[in-house]
Structure 1
Amino acid sequence: MDKATIGGLASGVALLVIAVFVAPGSKFSAFWDTASAAVVVGGAIAATAIAFPVVALLKFPRVIKKTLQPNALEAAPVIAELVGLAEVARKDGILALEQKTEEIEDPFILLGIQMAVDGIDSELMEELLRTEVDSVAERHKTGKMLLDTLGRYAPAFGMIGTLMGLIIMLGNMDDPDAIGPGMAVALITTLYGAIVSNLVCLPLADKLAYYSKREVEIREIIVRGILSIQQGDNPRVVEQKLKTCLPADQRGSDEMADAA
């Protein structure tokens, strides 16, 4: 579970609620209107459904899950695992890795090792692995587009709801006492649109983009590592190749000294 995402959402909602309660003369009930919420949320979802095919929409729950439960892989442990596999291949031969497949948890590493054991040509293997990486990046891109689209349409429907409220209010100008409350209800819809967009949809889209970039980078490390193992590189060489993908402060003391 991504604590920053949950904490950020909870903090944002809490700040808004606190602001309502501490503002002089404000009432919490004045900030809730079911019709306004329906216009913003329902309208944004409807517009997004028009913009995307059903296949993409059905994957939306997985998109949300990705922002809350990202891939747990980290670069350093992945490099350590690949170096360990390189040591086995260097010592006992590439076919010895077949005995290690049951210990490999990550499906992408397992796929690459199985192809290496099967003796697939290195160029073909690289093409297949990079195609898989591109496929993951494309799926994440579609997910971000979904969230961006929701974030773009929510304020628009907030404005639509406000215009609807103003029309209703102006149609009842014979009652001066209803003008103030009517204006307040009309503006609530704009508020809802801004909150849904800027507190939920757009931040989640940015979080998904961050995790997508990180996952693609780690998969690129895996591709380089597996190709290096297949070529029979020394485990030390494999380690040095892969550590160049890490920031200088994560590469180890030798390379940190070089970087300095």
Structure 2
Amino acid sequence: MDLSSLIGILSGIGFIIGCILLGGPITMFIDAPSIVIVCGGTVSSTMIAYPLGDVLGMFKVSIKVFMFKIEKPEDIIANLTEISNKARKGGLLSIEGDIQGTSDPYLAQALQMTVDGVKTDDIGDIMQKKMDLTKKNLETGSDVFRSMAAYAPAFGMIGTLIGLVQMLANLDDPSAIGPSMSVAMITTFYGAILANLLFTPMSNKLKGRNDAELTNMNIIYEGVLSIREGEHPKLMEDKLKVYLGNAAAKEKK
């Protein structure tokens, strides 16, 4: 569980509700037509912009904002170095046990191809294609949320225009001005909250998750190819440690 995401969202909502309550009842900020305009419009635009599968997959990807477990790159490098030492001393067949012992399907498949004697270029091509596909799938979720962050305020403005038109059309009826003005103002409020408290931060968080996952895949890619080529374990380890600098920089962001 990522506490920073949960605490951030809950505290943001809490601060907004607290400020509202200081000035009056929260019911003033609850308006069904405004919710329909902003939420319905945002979802509709997203469905137009992306295939249905990507939109539905967004809910699955969003789980990574709150629950994300990934192996540390340092541990992956240490594991690959150990495997490399074993392969150098006992041959490639000696690492078959490591295939069964890993929970990473990407690493397991790469090691299995290595043990099976698949050519280095072929192993590299297959791993690269899987990495490209994973990158595409991971980036799609972040892009969907980024698009929703743009659509929500836009529909907030559309709701404002609707409210203003209704208000101007009923200037002779004072009882209708209040509700129309409410829609005009609250839709912009909803759009701004959804974009800045949820969609944009979630897109940024997913991008960071994606970068971390791809860093690990690159480490495995480079490490397995080095093992297949019989490269010295120490040289391989030094090469892979270059990725640690990138991983550390991303963690600080």
Superposed pair shares fold, TM > 0.5: yes
2:6 is aligned to: 6
Q: Summarize deviations over 1:77-117 as a string: whole Å, max 9, x none.
A: 11111112112212211111112211111111111111111
Q: CA deviation at 1:130?
A: 1.4
Residues 155 and 129 (structure 1 numbering): CA distance in 2 closer, same or farther, change over 3 Å?
same
1:18 is aligned to: 18
Check if 1:188 corresponds to 2:186: yes
Select 2:219's aligned residue among 205, 221, 231: 221
Distance in 1 (alpha carbons) for counterparts of 2:98 and 2:126: 22
Match for residue 30 of structure 1? 28
- Matches of 1:248 and 1:214, distance apart in 2: 9
Q: Using the alignment, how far apart are the partners of 1:209 and 1:42 within structure 2?
A: 25
Return the alpha-carbon distance in structure 2 between the equivalents of residues 7 and 95 of structure 1.
Answer: 48
Contact 2:124–2:225 (CA under 8 A) maintained in structure 1: yes
Q: CA RMSD of the aligned region, Å?
A: 1.9
> What amino acid is aligned across from residue 105 of structure 1 in structure 2?
S
Report what 2:133 is aligned to.
135
CA offsets, 1:110-156, max 9 Å, x none? 11111111111111111211111111111122112211111111111
> How far is 1:178 from its partner?
4.8
Asked if the contact 2:212–2:247 (Cα under 8 Å) also holds between the matched residues in 1, the reply is no
Per-residue CA shift, 1:23-73, capped at 9, x if unaligned? 4xx221111111111110111001111111122222112221222223412
Is the CA contact 2:113–2:123 (under 8 Å) kept in the aligned structure 1?
yes
Q: How many Å apart are 1:76 and its aligned residue?
A: 0.8
Q: Give the distance between the partners of 1:241 and 1:202, measured in 2 at CA.
A: 35
User: C-alpha distance in 1, partners of 2:55/2:210?
Assistant: 19
Q: Distance in 1 between matches of 2:189 and 2:246?
A: 45
TM-score by length of 1: 0.89
Q: How does 1:103-252 map to 2 (within 5 A)?
A: 103-176=101-174, 178-180=176-178, 182-247=180-245
Q: Any stretches of 5+ residues in structure 2 without a counterpart?
A: 249-253
What is the TM-score with the length of structure 2 in the denominator? 0.91
Taking only the aligned residue pairs, the percentage that are identical comes to 36
Distance 1:249 1:118, change over 3 A: closer
Q: 4+ residue stretches of structure 1 with deviation over 6 A?
A: none
Runs of 5+ unmatched residues, structure 1: 251-260
Distance 1:223 1:60, change over 3 A: same
Aligned length: 248
Name the CA shift for 1:162/1:236 in 2 (closer, same or farther; >3 Å): same
Q: How big is each residue's C-alpha offset from its partner over 1:149-168, in whole Å with a ceiling of 9 and x where there is no partner?
A: 11111111111111111222
Q: 1:249, CA displacement in angstroms? A: 11
Q: Conserved in 2, the CA contact under 8 Å of 1:166 and 1:186?
A: yes
Check conservation: 1:71, 1:215, Cα contact below 8 A.
no
Letter in 2 for 1:119: G
